[in-house]
Amino acid sequence: MSNKKIKIAVFVSGGGTNLQALIDKQKSGVINSGEISLVISNNPGAYALERARNADIKTAVVSRKESASQAEFEGRLVDLLNENGIELIVLAGFMCILSENFTVKYPKRIINVHPSLIPSFCGKGFYGLHVHEAALEYGVKVTGATVHFVNEIPDGGEIIMQKAVEVEDGDTPEVLQKRVMVNAEWIILPQAVEKVSKNLLESK
């Protein structure tokens, strides 16, 4: 067995709780076929960058606002990925839409975690707390999280893993968001990263 690992970039925008789950699971050996070698944020103030630095992971900031166009923004991302030999991209709370021009370059090499059981409460406009507000408004008794491949359709790529979470009486969107994170996102995102990394290694 070669000890080579798939080089992973994690794209972040905010606090980086999913990134932290990935870092922790890498340390504990759940993620063994891949290694996080770069964390990219579109937000220079993202606490996720601090988490990456604390774990000695290289960081970079690429701001959409400071790019003249979507093409320039994505071009800068591609340059960074190429320079660092990145083979797998994980979107962990990344608040920028990536165009088809970008996603088509990385077929089945971009994965995202979404805080619902796709195809419920997903697609355009469904992100962050909005997802949990919609689930509660609709009155579903079970929600959860989905890890899927990213293509040109928001939340439209092939599903890799899902985990269900019960909705409880009296849940607020914030309480539900936390339960879905702890009981679903932080469990299946690292598992999916390992699964995809292992498949990529084996197909080399």
Task: Please name the residue that has the structure tokens 């408004």.
Answer: 137
* Residue of 114, 130, 132, 148 marked catalytic: 114
Residue 7 near residue 25 (C-beta atoms within 8 A): no
Task: Please name the residue that has the structure tokens 């959860």.
Answer: 144
Cα distance between residue 193 and residue 121, in whole Å: 23
**DSSP classification of residue 157:** S
E strands of the chain, at which residues? Answer: 6-12, 34-41, 59-61, 88-91, 110-114, 142-149, 159-166
Catalytic-residue membership of 114: yes
Provide the 10 A C-beta neighbour count for residue 202: 8
Both tokens assigned to 32: 């063994």
Question: What Cα–Cα distance (Å) separates residue 78 from each residue in 19, 130, 133, 147?
Answer: 20, 30, 34, 23
Residue 121 near residue 135 (C-beta atoms within 8 A): yes
Residues annotated catalytic, as ranges: 114
